[in-house]
Chain A
Amino acid sequence: MKPDGKTDGLHLEAISIRLHGRTLLSLSALVRPGDILTVMGPSGSGKSALLAYLGGFLDPVFKASGRISIDGLDLTGIAVEHRRCGMLFQDPLLFPHLSVGGNLLFGLTPSIARRDQRRRMAEQALIDVELEGFFDRDPATLSGGQKARVALQRVMLSAPRFLLLDEPFSKLDTDLRQQTRALIFSRAKSAGLPIVLVTHDRADSDAAGGNVVVIGEESSR
């Protein structure tokens, strides 16, 4: 998908994260809309710290520097709740006290104010991922793949600026993982969102097809 002039993607400039004086990782990258940056590394390499820094919820024991910006907007100092980064984790983390529709409405951006319109958008989002009529269902009664799709739509409805994926497929079995992966990538691409994907699964990075950064034991790229 072609950038529409003013969107030029997610800029990560001289990101560096340290813990107790030890540098965990340093990284610079540009992720264009619809592109995927894959960050690979063993556990403990600082992958999660990188995600937390990009998302804006890094534990203060870490010291981080560097600039994060998107489309010319500097995100570095912006609080997590204003940053609008969509996150997907290993688990779908649907709120158990809300219905499927309630979870989607929770995610849907407040800029759409009319109740009936919000409801319609949530229903449409379900139709888009072949979950028509699931609005009033209890999330606990959904299969793993269905939950993953609802979690994806919850994020997409929040009008994120970019997506952060934290091994979002690792708990699904192989078939389902491929389907879900393809779905997430295609929806993010069609929405023109830059994606940062953290994984230790080579198949994920192969499917992503974008740049791959390896951190941890091996030197970064």
Chain B
Amino acid sequence: MGRQTEENRPQDRRANVTRRFTVSGFMLALLSLPVLAGLAGTIGPAFGYLPALGGDHVTFDHFADLAAQPHLLRSSLVSLATGLVTTGVSVVMVMLFTAGYAGTRMFSRIQHMVSPLLAVPHAAAAFGLAFLVAPSGLIIRLLSPGLTGYTSPPDWLVPQDPLGLTVMAGLVVKEMPFLFLVTLSALPQVPVAQTRTVTANLGYGRIRGFLIGSWPLLYRQIRLPVFAVLAYAGSVVDVAMILGPALPAPLPVRITGWMADSDLRLRFLASAGAVLQFGLTLMAVALWLIAERVGAFLLRRISGSGIRQPNDQWICRIACAAMAVSAAIVFLGLLVLFLWSIAGLWPFPSLLPDNMTLQSWTRALPQAVTPIVTTIALAGGSATIGLVLAIGLLWQGSLRAGGALRVVLYLPLVVPQLCFVFGLQILWLTLGLDASFPLLLFVHLIFVLPYAVLSLSQPWQALDRRYETVATGLGKSPLQVLLLVRLPMLTRACLTAFAVGFAVSAGLYLPTLLIGAGRIVTITTEAVALSSGGDRRAIGVYALLQTLVPFAGFLIASLVPHLLFRDRRAMRI
């Protein structure tokens, strides 16, 4: 670890300490203040303090109200389990796949298949999965009536299964690619290939050698993203609305309902619920920490035993198949969404619609224009600002491993959105201000910035610093070096960071719903709002539009470097 830090350290020219502190301090405030203020804004009303609504004394009544809600325990347990199971399954899949295939052709093949999944919004992936596994979904249609004998959809409670298994599946197919890509960017910092040579020479199988020799180092690098997944999956709203059980719904969905209720007195109940949700997340983190300990203990036992387990190809194959299947689910889901969006009549056992029509599109598009424009404006604005700030942060070298800023950067991802965005909204209302585009843009920025930095920092560190030394030696100022050498050489990485930020913003549901207060709507809030109606054709159109917006961002990010650097071979890689 220490050695890595040494290698990654940017060679400071005359370290400008004051400037660095100012920028870092500004960023610390920018990222942490909204989260902390939002948490305070949630906790206050939970204990009865919300002057705007007449709450002026501390009381536990609202928690009593909360406890009196029917099936509260069940709702809480489902969302706790969703967080833990989703994270556990995703981490284990990524771990085993990396163990089995790091450095092979299959690895890069799966990498190319999985990367685009990051651009698919959670809600769209969830709709796709719902249309696949529903009783009248594509999978049953494939098997019916031939194998199942069904001529009408079976009476299954899927996707709304009471245990939330479908929610977990819908989250795994999205979180697994995220963790995989995070792992990919951490891989160069761990000598996986050398370790593999050593362990293989000692007779260890791929997986066992990797788990003992490389995984502990790698896991340390991806630990914060893992906690982000844990917090996100345990408090997710949109995916749970689409795929989750209905009566009772998972806790975050119920809280969101209370928050958005026209009866303002329910805000107190919602705040108490958000505090409970925060407690659940802390509990999930505690349980995960215990799981880490157990895992570390088992790993020590395994490595102490000396058992080589050289024949582990079957585990590798299973891990590879699991990755491929989870990617295929998302792609198939998009395909079904497309089919529904152009379906005319589509009676049950038929595999394909009886006739195709563009009617759903022509009907939906006119109303979708405004949300799309809003989505693009929000995403474009927050991604641009996020990219500029990310460049500034990396340029100042404020993101050394182990620094406070690295942890703060993850704060908006590790604290459940539900718990602080609601408080921000309440604070905003308390100040007498209305839902506004700049505020929404700022809130989006809080979520976009961490991903922009994550995406940019790996290529930033990887650039050969001697190019800058050459330029400086040729008499260029630091700013000139940045603008004329570093940024042009990192064009592709910058555009990718922009596209990632763009996709994050475009897919953001809960913050948009709460801060936009129903007056600013994006394609994502519109799509999720359709989930209760059950109009599959409209859902197909909206979910596809929701996917196309971020996809366009990635497309531009990959095409622009080709156009800019048509005649520069070394820039095309």
Contact = CB atoms under 8 A, between A and B. Distances in A.
A133 to B, nearest CB: 15
B13 A57 contact: yes
A38 to B, nearest CB: 20
Interface string A101-141: 00000110110000000000000000000000000001111
Given A57-B13, A96-B571, A140-B568, A106 B491 contact: no
Contacts of A86: 473-474
A160 B472 CA distance: 12
Given A57-B469, A79-B13, A89-B466, A97 B474 contact: no
Contacts of B473: 55, 80, 83-87, 155, 158, 160, 164
Contacts of B15: 60
Given A79-B13, A139-B570, A57 B472 contact: yes
A80 B474 CA distance: 9
B475 A140 contact: no
A181 to B, nearest CB: 19
A98 B491 CA distance: 13
Contacts of B475: 81-82, 84, 109-110, 158
A48 B466 CA distance: 12
Contacts of A91: 464, 466
Nearest to B561: A97
A97 B478 CA distance: 18
A60 B11 CA distance: 8
Given A57-B11, A60-B15, A107 B474 contact: yes
Interface string A137-149: 0111100000000
Contacts of A85: 473
Contacts of B570: 96, 138-140
B364 interface: no
Contacts of B489: 95-97
A97 B13 contact: no
A158 B472 CA distance: 11
Interface residues of A, number: 36
B484 interface: yes
A93 interface: yes
Interface in B280-315: none
Contact of A81 (B9, B464, B478): B478
Given A89-B466, A93-B464, A106-B471, A81 B571 contact: no
A89 B470 contact: yes
A93 B568 CA distance: 14
B488 interface: yes
Interface in B452-467: 464, 466-467
Interface in A43-82: 52, 55-57, 59-60, 79-82
B477 interface: yes
B19 interface: no
Contacts of B471: 95, 106
B471 to A, nearest CB: 7
Contacts of B568: 96-97, 99, 138-140
A95 B467 contact: yes
A11 interface: no
A32 interface: no
A138 B484 contact: no
B569 interface: yes
A91 B466 CA distance: 9
Contacts of B464: 91, 93
Interface in A155-198: 155, 158, 160, 164
B112 interface: no
A158 B466 contact: no
Interface string B333-364: 00000000000000000000000000000000
A54 to B, nearest CB: 11
A116 to B, nearest CB: 21
A55 B472 CA distance: 10
B28 interface: no
Interface in B8-31: 9, 11-15
A139 B9 CA distance: 29
Contacts of B476: 81, 106
A139 B478 CA distance: 24
Contact of A80 (B9, B472, B571): B472
A85 B9 CA distance: 24
A139 B470 CA distance: 16
Name the residue in B471, B478, B491, B568 with the highest tally of chain A Cβ atoms < 10 Å from its Cβ.
B568
A57 to B, nearest CB: 6
A139 B13 CA distance: 28
Given A57-B472, A84-B475, A91-B466, A99 B485 contact: no
Contacts of A154: 470, 474
Contacts of A80: 13, 469, 472-473
Interface of B: 9, 11-15, 464, 466-467, 469-478, 484-485, 488-489, 491, 565, 567-571
Given A84-B475, A86-B473, 12 more contacts: A81-B477, A85-B473, A93-B470, A95-B485, A97-B565, A99-B568, A106-B474, A107-B474, A140-B568, A140-B569, A154-B470, A158-B473
Interface of A: 52, 55-57, 59-60, 79-87, 89, 91, 93, 95-99, 106-107, 109-110, 138-141, 154-155, 158, 160, 164
Q: What are the 4 closest A-B residue pairs judged by CB atoms, nearest first?
A: A96-B570, A140-B569, A140-B570, A97-B488
17 contacts: A59-B9, A60-B12, A79-B13, A80-B472, A80-B473, A81-B476, A82-B475, A87-B473, A89-B469, A89-B470, A91-B466, A95-B488, A96-B568, A97-B489, A97-B491, A97-B568, A155-B474
